[in-house]
Amino acid sequence: MIALAGALALAATATACNAGSGGTGGSAGGESKQAGGGSKPATIGLVLPQGDKYFQGIQSGIEAAAKKDGNRVVVVNTNNDAGAEASGVQNLIQRGVSAIIMQPATSSAGSIATMKSIGAAKIPLICFGNCTGKAASPDVVKGVVQSDNTALGTATGQEAARYIKEKLGGKAVVGILNCDSFEVCKLRKAGFKKALKAAGVQTKYVADQEGFLADKATPIATNMLSANPSINLLWAANEGGTLGEIAAVKSGGREVPVFGTDISDQLATALLSKDAILKVTTGQDASATAAKAYDFAIQSVAGRTNEPFSVGIPGIAYSGSRPVVVRAYLGQ
């Protein structure tokens, strides 16, 4: 939670682009993960774009790994502001941190300049989300760890295809709320559509509109349903859009299933609701992302090359038909 609760609260959640296939770069067996091969504790700077549950998971995962190794973590929350990001990063550089793990507030020149300043200070930088263009370049970062956003869309699409076959006679008229102003969202939508096509279901897309902030997404989805009474399935590219579609279905009185992207307490609760409007949503795996980003940082501090350079972390599909998994997310 482009999360996009995560990166898209850049406007509302993104978290991360399609970084390629998985893989591990793990440390050599038994070696210390402290800086300088164990000579002294490492201090890892962690730059977060916001503090929602997904990024809390990133922070707690990295802090737990660092504590286990006797290392320290210094956290900067930029609130999706490039200026605050630049200032926070400069503070980390002045503190002489061993490495920085960062999700850019933006992939624009503002964040790139800040990221390059880290390299100029000879501090290894790991990008863990919203890593597109130069933000994913070996000239700027020592490694990329982020959600496989195409896979986020594919996972939900596979579940939607199954529903279409079982409940809709193999035919669906689909309405979409997108966040296409963010590259990661385009990947999610492409993955969703690819999964439906691969499943062989007959799909007609009658509406595809931008709506990724819940309060703004709700009236857009409401109007979409009103203008297209044939819609019998909705999909959204991020948390805000998913919440907007749920609210629109509730207020409209029509039984239209919603399939979404991202995971949060609110979406998890919706999955467990008796109204069963939200069927499936695929969320980013904060724990796996944190573990790999930390490992990449420590490898870089030790002077080792991260191989593969770019790792895509699969998402986790949460379904109302699998309540045990949803309750586990909620800590119930």
As beta bridge partners, residue 209 has 177
Concatenating the DSSP letter of every residue in 147-174 gives E-HHHHHHHHHHHHHHHHHHHSTTEEEE
Q: Is the model more confident about 109 or about 178?
A: 178
Do 106 and 254 fall within a single domain?
no
Do 291 and 142 fall within a single domain?
yes
Q: Is the pLDDT of residue 241 over 90?
A: yes
Q: Is the pLDDT of residue 1 over 70?
A: no
- Cβ atoms of 102 and 275 within 8 Å: the answer is no
- Cβ atoms of 244 and 211 within 8 Å: the answer is yes
Taking residues 132-158, report their average pLDDT: 95
Q: Examine residue 76 and state whether it is found in any structural domain, yes or no.
A: yes
Do 40 and 25 fall within a single domain?
yes
Taking residues 36-44, report their average pLDDT: 76
Q: How confident is the model at residue 129 (pLDDT cuts 50, 70, 90)?
A: confident
CATH number of the domain that residue 125 is part of? 3.40.50.2300
Taking residues 138-147, report their average pLDDT: 96
Q: Examine residue 246 and state whether it is found in any structural domain, yes or no.
A: yes
pLDDT at 271: 98
First to last CA, the chain: 20
Q: Examine residue 83 and state whether it is found in any structural domain, yes or no.
A: yes
Q: Examine residue 238 and state whether it is found in any structural domain, yes or no.
A: yes
- Cβ atoms of 283 and 268 within 8 Å: the answer is no
Selection from 287, 67, 259, 55 nearest residue 164 by Cα: 259
Do 213 and 271 fall within a single domain?
yes
pLDDT at 2: 41
pLDDT at 14: 39
For residue 133, the enclosing domain spans: 7-147+286-313
- Cβ atoms of 82 and 106 within 8 Å: the answer is yes
Residue 308 DSSP label: S
Give the Cα separation of 72 and 46 in Å (integer). Answer: 10
Q: Examine residue 1 and state whether it is found in any structural domain, yes or no.
A: no
Q: How confident is the model at residue 8 (pLDDT cuts 50, 70, 90)?
A: very low
Structure-block tokens of residue 38: 């164990």
Q: Examine residue 2 and state whether it is found in any structural domain, yes or no.
A: no
Do 244 and 174 fall within a single domain?
yes
Q: Is the model more confident about 178 or about 131?
A: 178
Do 79 and 137 fall within a single domain?
yes
How many Cα atoms occupy the beta-carbon half-sphere of 73 within 13 Å?
25
Do 157 and 114 fall within a single domain?
no
Percentage of residues of the chain with pLDDT beyond 90: 81
Give the Cα separation of 331 and 13 in Å (integer). Answer: 22
Give the Cα separation of 213 and 12 in Å (integer). Answer: 6
Do 87 and 141 fall within a single domain?
yes
- pTM score: 0.81
Do 110 and 138 fall within a single domain?
yes
Q: Is 205 exposed, middle or buried (0-12, 13-18, 19+ CB in 10 A)?
A: middle
Q: Examine residue 123 and state whether it is found in any structural domain, yes or no.
A: yes
**Bridge pairing between strands 310-313 and 202-210:** unpaired
Do 189 and 97 fall within a single domain?
no
Q: Is the pLDDT of residue 220 over 60?
A: yes
Do 53 and 113 fall within a single domain?
yes
Taking residues 201-228, report their average pLDDT: 97
Q: Examine residue 245 and state whether it is found in any structural domain, yes or no.
A: yes
E strand intervals along 113-229? 125-127, 143-147, 171-178, 202-210
Question: What is the number of structural domains in the chain?
Answer: 2
Do 93 and 234 fall within a single domain?
no
Among positive and negative, which fits the CA dihedral 154, 156, 160, 163?
A: positive
